[in-house]
């Protein structure tokens, strides 16, 4: 692998051959997450493809010229021409391999793949999931000098990194940007010495053997596993929802509300998330129509009162969506009145769906005992029904799912494990 500057770009990249270029920055957690993957793939593909790194901060003009807007960004070149898909952000090893394979003939790809040797790494504790619950467990375990690895399919931070502002996490007088709060949590845990394996494919989880396989070639073994995989938003199941996800239908106000300045928006849901996020969306949108299946919101009373006093909010109770479609620039929702069975049509510029979450447990072949909603049951030290398997945060059976409660669970599990491993 070679580090180059703008001056060498012409000669090293554009003059021919197959080249992958990594534009990286310092103080960039996704760049740190990419570095070991880039190194190991350079070892594997390096005889066929040139691996080049460019420090973006010192080569801004070149980065701008190439339209590189974030770090890290990987660009793939063949015979001096950019080819394939640019990769940015939390880049997975499997995504890089896909793009590298496109550069080579199939038989050569097979030869290279045959050189991948599976290997085993050993830790005291594996934490599956790097949200507030997992990060806090990682911090406490690290401070107890317990060899711990955090494995996450995305970059660390969990839901908090996607939350616009957090105003109820103790210790801060002013609301904190969710991204910064989660960044500080993960840096604190990283600085302590916990190993992070993030933006990986978790390809197998064996809770009986206490093993987690990542990227289909590394098996991580431990004495204990903490499940901290959080939740994923529920879908309404209405026709057109999956097809329009990210194309007019959104599940994240923080990410997308800003695109609806002075526009009209439909929100589906009526619990805490729907009510709080509608309030946030109304800072941008001119009108927010909230469609809720029950005849009153189920969110907390304070949030409801604030919402109902907001002139931009238009609640429609006892209605459920049946289908979504796009008509020109507009999003259309066909909605059934649950009392009269009449189907009505609502049109807006965008649709947000906040109808609850489901626990992320698909990867577990053998599951610990779950509650009736599918969340993991734990005892008061966060032990599950499976020996040496703990669970913390939103993925467990509990009444209140907040950052503070996830952090508390992580603390308890870590102290309990530290005592057991002593």
Ligand X SMILES: Cc1cc2nc3c(=O)[nH]c(=O)nc-3n(C[C@H](O)[C@H](O)[C@H](O)COP(=O)(O)OP(=O)(O)OC[C@H]3O[C@@H](n4cnc5c(N)ncnc54)[C@H](O)[C@@H]3O)c2cc1C
Interacting residues toward ligand X by CB under 6 A? 128-134, 151-154, 158-160, 163, 166, 168, 202, 228-231, 273, 360, 363, 393-395, 401-404, 406
Token pair, residue 402, equals 């907040």
| 3-state DSSP assignment of residue 116 | coil
Task: Give CA–CA dist 324/307, Å, rounded.
Answer: 25
User: Which is nearer to ligand X, 200 or 331 (by Cβ)?
Assistant: 200
Q: Provide, rounded to whole angstroms, the least separation between the CB of residue 273 and ligand X.
A: 6
User: Which is nearer to ligand X, 172 or 294 (by Cβ)?
Assistant: 172
User: Which is nearer to ligand X, 146 or 253 (by Cβ)?
Assistant: 253
Q: Provide, rounded to whole angstroms, the least separation between the CB of residue 412 and ligand X.
A: 13
28 alpha-carbon distance from chain centroid:
17
Q: Provide, rounded to whole angstroms, the least separation between the CB of residue 33 and ligand X.
A: 12
Residue 183: CA atoms inside 13 Å, Cβ hemisphere, count?
Answer: 11
b vs e for 211-221, b when ≥16 Cβ sit within 10 Å of the residue's Cβ?
bbbbbeebbbe
Task: Give CA–CA dist 249/253, Å, rounded.
Answer: 11
User: Which is nearer to ligand X, 21 or 155 (by Cβ)?
Assistant: 155
User: Which is nearer to ligand X, 63 or 214 (by Cβ)?
Assistant: 214
Classify strands 165-166 and 148-152 as parallel, antiparallel or unpaired: unpaired
User: Which is nearer to ligand X, 346 or 354 (by Cβ)?
Assistant: 354
Q: Provide, rounded to whole angstroms, the least separation between the CB of residue 128 and ligand X.
A: 5
User: Which is nearer to ligand X, 131 or 240 (by Cβ)?
Assistant: 131
Q: Provide, rounded to whole angstroms, the least separation between the CB of residue 290 and ligand X.
A: 15
Instruction: Look at residues 88, 83, 79, 33 and name the one whose alpha carbon lies nearest to residue 56.
Output: 88
Q: Provide, rounded to whole angstroms, the least separation between the CB of residue 216 and ligand X.
A: 14
Token pair, residue 288, equals 């927010």
User: Which is nearer to ligand X, 192 or 239 (by Cβ)?
Assistant: 192
Q: Provide, rounded to whole angstroms, the least separation between the CB of residue 234 and ligand X.
A: 11
Residue 132: CA atoms inside 13 Å, Cβ hemisphere, count?
Answer: 24
Torsion of CA 134, 138, 141, 145, to 10 degrees: 160
Q: Provide, rounded to whole angstroms, the least separation between the CB of residue 271 and ligand X.
A: 11
Q: Provide, rounded to whole angstroms, the least separation between the CB of residue 402 and ligand X.
A: 4
Q: CB under 8 Å to 351, separation ≥6 — which residues? A: 244, 248, 249, 250, 265, 266, 267, 268, 324, 331, 333
User: Which is nearer to ligand X, 68 or 274 (by Cβ)?
Assistant: 274
User: Quick one: DSSP state of residue 364?
Assistant: B
Residues 122 and 223: beta-carbon distance below 8 Å: no
**How many CB atoms lie under 10 A from the CB of residue 61?**
8
Helical packing angle, 178-192 and 132-143, nearest 10°: 30
């Amino acid at each position: 692998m070679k580090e180059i500057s703008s001056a060498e770009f012409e000669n090293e990249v554009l003059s021919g051959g197959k080249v992958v270029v990594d534009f990286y920055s310092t103080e960039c957690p996704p760049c740190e997450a990419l570095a070991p993957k880039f190194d190991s793939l350079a070892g594997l593909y390096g005889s066929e493809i040139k691996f080049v790194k460019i420090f973006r901060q010192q080569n801004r003009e070149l980065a701008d010229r190439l339209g590189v807007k974030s770090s890290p960004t990987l660009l793939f070149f063949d015979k001096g021409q950019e080819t394939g898909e640019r990769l940015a952000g939390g880049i997975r090893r499997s995504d890089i391999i896909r793009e590298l394979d496109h550069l080579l003939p199939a038989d050569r790809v097979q030869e290279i793949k045959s050189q991948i040797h599976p290997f085993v790494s050993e830790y005291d504790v594996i934490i599956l999931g790097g949200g507030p619950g997992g990060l806090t467990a990682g911090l406490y375990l690290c401070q107890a000098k317990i060899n711990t690895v955090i494995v996450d399919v995305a970059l660390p931070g969990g839901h908090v990194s996607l939350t616009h502002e957090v105003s109820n996490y103790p210790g801060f007088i002013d609301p904190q940007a969710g991204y910064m709060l989660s960044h500080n949590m993960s840096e604190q845990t990283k600085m302590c010495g916990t190993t992070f394996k993030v933006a990986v494919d978790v390809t197998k989880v064996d809770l009986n053997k206490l093993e987690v396989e990542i990227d289909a070639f590394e098996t991580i073994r431990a004495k204990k596993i903490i499940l901290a995989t959080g939740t994923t938003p529920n879908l309404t199941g209405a026709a057109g929802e999956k097809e329009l996800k990210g194309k007019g239908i959104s599940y994240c106000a923080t990410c997308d509300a800003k695109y609806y300045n002075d526009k009209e928006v439909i929100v589906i849901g009526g619990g805490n998330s729907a009510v709080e996020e509608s309030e946030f969306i109304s800072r941008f949108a001119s009108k927010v129509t909230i469609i809720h299946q029950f005849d009153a919101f189920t969110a907390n009373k304070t949030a409801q009162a604030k919402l109902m006093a907001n002139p931009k909010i238009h609640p429609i109770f006892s209605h459920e969506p049946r289908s979504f479609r796009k008509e020109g620039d507009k999003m259309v929702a066909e909605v059934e009145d649950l009392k009269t069975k009449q189907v009505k049509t609502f049109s807006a510029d965008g649709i947000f769906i906040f109808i609850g979450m489901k626990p992320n447990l698909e990867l577990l072949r053998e599951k610990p005992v779950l509650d009736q909603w599918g969340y993991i049951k734990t005892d008061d030290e966060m032990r599950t029904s499976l020996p040496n398997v703990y669970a913390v945060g939103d993925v467990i059976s509990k009444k209140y799912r907040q950052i503070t409660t996830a952090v508390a669970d992580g603390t308890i599990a870590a102290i309990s494990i530290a005592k057991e491993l002593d």
